[in-house]
Amino acid sequence: MAPPSNVPKPGRTLLALLVIMVVLACVAVLQGRTTPKLGLDLAGGTTVTLTAKTEKGKNPPASQMNQAVKIMTQRVNGLGVSDAEVAKQGSNNIVVNVPGEGQGRVVSLIGTTAKLQFRQVFAVADGKPTTAGAAPAPSASPSKGKEKDKASPSPSASPSSSAASPSATPRGRALSQALTAPTPTPSGSGSPSATPSAAPSGLPTGSPQQPAPQQDYTGIDDKAVIKQFESLNCYTGDKRAPGSNDPNRKWVAACDQKEENGQVTKYILGPVRVLGENVDGASAMPPDAQQGQASWSVSLKFDGKGGRQFGDVTTEAYRAYQQNPSSPQSQIAIVLDGQVVSAPSINRGAITGGTASIDGPPDSFNQRYAADLANVLKYGALPLEFTQSSIDEVSSTLGADQLEGGLIAGAIGLGLVVLYCMLYYRGLGLVAVSSLIVASAITYVSVVILGEGMGFRLSLPHIIGLIVSIGITADSFIVYFERLRDELRAGRKLRSSVENAWKRARRTILVADAVTFLAALVLYFLAVGGVRGFAFAMGLTTLIDVIVVFFFTKPMVALLSRTEFFGRGHPLSGLDAKRLRRTTQNASGGPAARTTSQEV
């Protein structure tokens, strides 16, 4: 006769847990790290003080400072950095604490203003200072074609072959392929007409020996910006021209963000047409060979207003391209913090779909740059500009001493729990100790995986939460063991008692763990700093406790109940029915009942 289908199979459950643990261990090894990352208090890190820049040195509004703290915190979380702290200090300072070494990238990104603007280009030239009549700028001759190739080489004009034009390498930090392709119906002719003169691009770029014709300033009614443009030197300094980051200025002169092939381009840009506030989302996208995209890119999604504004400016740029393919006004400059990230030519039609992308040469526009740019754009621009007042390296000496004390306290607590389990539950205490070991192993591997995959860093509050969880885990064992002993006191057989006790105990265990987890969840979202780290650790270990009790403790007890040592109720097993009944009767003052040996 076949056995009932509902008979427990503890061996399969233990095997499933073993597979889970092996998979977690393999993931940790494949990530290339077998030790947890440590937080600021244990491993040291970087502390930077950012000071808000205001007109005439006045204190900035408190609302803007609070908004800046919020945006910086979102950027840190978006980068996956755990245990970082962003706090306002005084009326105009923000202190950022970032754990770990080599965190200059994080510090620079969270302090970036990230003011994004879209402006139409009206003049383009090499980034060296020029005099009137001698600027290497676009015109109606081969030098114009050369400057066009340098200023706005568009891979979307000939995506199938980058060798068709030597100028296909973007001259700036990025080039937007999506900007050069219309959203509704792209043109079927991907001809190289966007760069009408490929031959002149072979001339040495920015060569002082090449005479340049008169720069065309048609449509620019600001003589001051023309003068600034001609005297602007983009090869020295921080490449951010005065006023280039001011969205209220109608005309600005700006430099390209990055030197490319030994050249930096400068521009005269018209009024702001779309602001970064109208960007509804940003995400880093990997290369797409099918679309002719060789580098990482940042995909932008505009809100309703931004989509309409972007459609209007690309319509004007495309109209300028149709009238004169080499006109600078066919280009749309993407300006980030006063520097031009990209200035692609709109040569296939207006873009009315409300989306765009920023990309560039693979050597500079890599995955990290795309992710960082998407992160700062996603959470919006800071309402204030900040300067780094101080930057210091934090030592971990004090934290190491505290860690040593915490580990000693944890070892003492764990030892007391083990001693209690062995004295009170005897052989059954081995199951409790084994469960604690399994829970510790899963917790350790989980912390390692979270550290590499999500930037989780182990700090003192986390360790405190892990130590406290020892008691939470022990409570689950005690609930089950006491239910089991109650069944035996009632005279039931061990194997049936194991299942009956589990049915009664698991609801209590789940309710208790659910309450603990909800408390940790509320504390995590409402608290900050170390308290939040404590809540995270407590929530993590609570989930692990449920896994261990269901996948290890209960099936292990069920498996041991089939052995003679436990099944016959050996006095050292902790499941001696005779001793349990005698203890109960003596405690109640009644006579001891006659008992028989426990049957399997």
Q: Is the pLDDT of residue 211 over 60?
A: no
What's the confidence (pLDDT) of residue 81?
Answer: 61
What's the confidence (pLDDT) of residue 195?
Answer: 32
The conformation of residue 50, written as its DSSP 8-state character, comes to: E
Q: What CATH class is the domain 10-38+396-588?
A: mainly alpha
What's the confidence (pLDDT) of residue 322?
Answer: 93
Cα Rg for the chain, rounded, in angstroms? 34
Tokens (6 digits) for 525? 């979202």
**What mean pLDDT do residues 308-313 have?**
92
Provide the sign of the torsion angle of the four alpha carbons 202, 208, 210, 213, taken in this order.
positive
Q: Is the pLDDT of residue 165 over 50?
A: no
What's the confidence (pLDDT) of residue 23?
Answer: 92
- What are the structural domain ranges in the chain? 10-38+396-588, 116-158+170-185+212-283+303-353
- Residue of higher predicted confidence among 220 and 214: 220
**What mean pLDDT do residues 547-567 have?**
88
Q: In what order do the strands lie in the sheet with 93-99?
A: 85-89, 93-99, 45-53, 385-394
What's the confidence (pLDDT) of residue 200?
Answer: 32
**CA separation for the pair 296, 176 (Å, rounded):** 11
Q: Is the pLDDT of residue 152 over 50?
A: no
Name the percent of the chain lying above pLDDT 70: 75
What's the confidence (pLDDT) of residue 400?
Answer: 65
Q: Give the best-scoring range by mean pLDDT among 199-203, 245-249, 526-530, 588-592.
A: 245-249
What's the confidence (pLDDT) of residue 140?
Answer: 36
pTM for the model:
0.55
**What mean pLDDT do residues 12-26 have?**
91
Mean residue pLDDT of the chain comes to: 75
What's the confidence (pLDDT) of residue 186?
Answer: 33
Tokens (6 digits) for 578? 């005779």
- Residue of higher predicted confidence among 21 and 389: 21
What's the confidence (pLDDT) of residue 143?
Answer: 37
- How large is the angle between the packed helices 62-78 and 367-378, nearest 10 degrees? 150
pLDDT bucket at 11, cuts 50 / 70 / 90: confident
Q: Are 40 and 98 in contact (CB under 8 A)?
A: yes
Q: Is the pLDDT of residue 4 over 60?
A: no
Among 209-213, 335-339, 486-490, the range scoring the smallest mean pLDDT is 209-213
Q: Is the pLDDT of residue 132 over 60?
A: no
pLDDT digits (tens, 9 = 90+) for 458-473: 777 888 888 777 777 7
Q: Is the pLDDT of residue 202 over 80?
A: no
What's the confidence (pLDDT) of residue 7?
Answer: 60
pLDDT digits (tens, 9 = 90+) for 353-400: 888 877 766 777 788 778 878 877 777 777 777 887 777 776 665 566
Q: Are 334 and 118 in contact (CB under 8 A)?
A: yes
Neighbours of 300 (CB within 10 A): 29
What's the confidence (pLDDT) of residue 598?
Answer: 39
Q: Is the pLDDT of residue 284 over 50?
A: yes
pLDDT digits (tens, 9 = 90+) for 33-87: 788 877 777 777 778 888 888 777 778 888 888 888 888 887 777 766 666 778 8
| No. of helices (H) and no. of strands (E), the chain | 16, 12
Q: Is the pLDDT of residue 190 over 60?
A: no
What's the confidence (pLDDT) of residue 91?
Answer: 84
Query: What is each CA distance from 156 to 152, 340, 347, 360, in whole angstroms?
Result: 11, 19, 9, 12
pLDDT bucket at 577, cuts 50 / 70 / 90: low
